[in-house]
Chains A and B, each alone.
Chain A
Amino acid sequence: MLDLLKPSFLEFQEFFYLAGRALKNLFRKPHYWDDVLLQMDVIGVGSLPIVSLIGAFSGIVMALQMSRAVAQYGASSQTGTFVAIVLVRELGPVLTALLVAGRNASGIASEIGSMKVTEQIDAMRALGTDPTQKLVTPRMLALAVVLPLLTIIADFVGLCGGFLIGKFRLNISAAQYWNSAQQALVWNDVAQGLLKPFLFSFVISLVGCFYGMRTTGGTQGVGRSTTEAVVVSSVWVFILDVFITQIFVNM
């Protein structure tokens, strides 16, 4: 049993070692701001279409589902309330994080993984740069900025999607929909809706970098780490979500 757990513990330890180094690099020179901006563009701007699309659809589906459920209590006019709460607290952050995990944890892991198997990581060290500083920290920083922003956009587009259903299927007026949505949200919701993506961003970037950095065994190895990065980061997004939600529900 102990032998079974040992590799997982070692992996955990290595992961936190990498995370610690990446965080420490925030306060150490040199800073690669060009790389931070580049990653913001690749991850943030690049994910914008898919995040908006999925955000819109989740808003639409939520409104449709909710309208039927709340119609039983004669509260169809409150659709905006439900869409807003579910979207801002839960669906927006988690769906966005899952999409970005699928799109970018894999991208990060395969990019760094290919660099690892072609000795580019070693070359980087040989030529005077710390790969953690040059590759991991910029990605971590970029994602920490970009993921909350993407979540805000997904939330907003989702609310608009819900509005379309409210307006054209349920005959809720614009004022009623947006008022109920706005009133439903309190600071607590907004806080957890932004804290979640901020924390998820570290999971996604660091897990992607971690599996990229420990890639071995050629192209096959790159494929393996890419898959592992997506699976592990997605699972940890959910696990973390449970804990954060638990804390905020108790507040």
Chain B
Amino acid sequence: MPDPSATHDSVVVFEDVSLHFGETVALDQVSFRIDRGQTWVFLGEAGSGKTQLCKVMMGLVRPDSGRVTIFGEEITSKGERDMFAIRSKIGMLFQESALFDSMTIEENVAYPLENQPVRHCGREQIHDRVVEALRFVELEKTLDKVPSELSGGMRRRVGIARATVTAPPLAIYDSPTAGLDPITANNIMAFIAKQRDLKGTTSIIVSHRYQDGVLMANYYYDEAQGRLVAATGDRLAAVDTTFVVMRDGRIVFLGPQTELEASTDPYVSKFGRR
């Protein structure tokens, strides 16, 4: 376990965080520290506490005990209204995209720009920012559509655009590839890597697919070629990826890819196989 003492470079710090829902344990004494520019991949079975972990990070769920520090600010004792400023620094892609189905794609992506208390840009620039964010995920032609007209993969991409339109320094992706075919899933991961490598976003990916983590750990987005390329040498070291395996709300593994693949624990090695 890393030393969870906060430095000015730490983006997310969890210290002995526990969360229960009645008898069920969602998180059990979870501690870790994520630094600026890192990529963290959380793996685990359904119900192992991954989604709740994201929600605690976002301040949507208050843990029963422990301390959570985001960008150097302790959030566990903050009220809902004080959270908005911190949340505006985090982009979050929800499990099923959670697009507002009564709004158009443009309104969906513009929502954080219009509603966050931190002003990101003037009213007249909102449209440009939305188009730019949608172009990033290659969906700039769907502005006037509503979410129900889009496929699952496209909705996920709109979700990414909405999460990153404010250019947040931290992005959390909750199961970005769940329920998608492998080709679409790889596409989605490419956009996440692109966001990370072009904007320098600290990225947290929650998934049950090991391939997603492998992609994030071994590839980077090359702007000149406009696609993901395999990272080697210095480049590979720069893609600083940590893997975490969770089980029943506990962290059972935390370390780099090589250690994960070498693990002999039957549960952990299940996630370390490609």
Contacts of A120 in B (CB 8 A): 98-101
| Distance in Å: Cβ of B86 to nearest Cβ of chain A | 11
| Distance in Å: Cβ of B36 to nearest Cβ of chain A | 21
**Interface residues contributed by chain B, number (CB under 8 Å):** 25
Q: Is the CB of B95 within 8 A of A119?
A: yes
Cα distance A119–B83 when bound, in Å? 18
Contacts of B84 in A (CB 8 A): 128
Q: Is the CB of B115 within 8 A of A128?
A: yes
Q: Is the CB of A126 within 8 A of B58?
A: yes
| Distance in Å: Cβ of B164 to nearest Cβ of chain A | 12
Most buried by B among A115, A125, A128, A129: A128
Contacts across chains A and B counted by CB atoms under 8 Å: 50
**A122 at the A/B interface (Cβ < 8 Å)?**
yes
**Interface residues contributed by chain A, number (CB under 8 Å):** 13
**A182 at the A/B interface (Cβ < 8 Å)?**
no
Contacts of B55 in A (CB 8 A): 122
Q: Is the CB of A119 within 8 A of B162?
A: no
**B80 at the A/B interface (Cβ < 8 Å)?**
yes
Those of B77-103 within 8 Å (CB) of chain A: 80-81, 83-84, 87-88, 90, 92, 94-96, 98-101
Interface string of B108-145 (1 = CB under 8 A from A): 00011001111000000000000000000000000000
Cα distance A201–B173 when bound, in Å? 41
**A228 at the A/B interface (Cβ < 8 Å)?**
no
Query: In the complex, which of the residues A118, A127, A129 contacts B162, with contact meaning CB atoms closer than 8 Å?
Result: A127
Contacts of B229 in A (CB 8 A): none
**A90 at the A/B interface (Cβ < 8 Å)?**
no
Cα distance A129–B88 when bound, in Å? 11
Cα distance A120–B92 when bound, in Å? 12
Cα distance A119–B90 when bound, in Å? 17
Q: Is the CB of B96 within 8 A of A128?
A: no
For the complex with contacts A119-B94, A122-B94, A122-B98, 12 further pairs of A-B residues with Cβ separation under 8 Å are A120-B100, A122-B58, A123-B98, A125-B60, A125-B83, A125-B87, A126-B58, A126-B92, A127-B115, A128-B84, A128-B88, A129-B115
15 pairs of residues in contact across A and B, judged by CB atoms under 8 Å: A119-B96, A120-B99, A120-B101, A122-B60, A123-B99, A125-B60, A125-B80, A126-B60, A127-B116, A127-B162, A128-B87, A128-B116, A128-B117, A129-B115, A130-B80
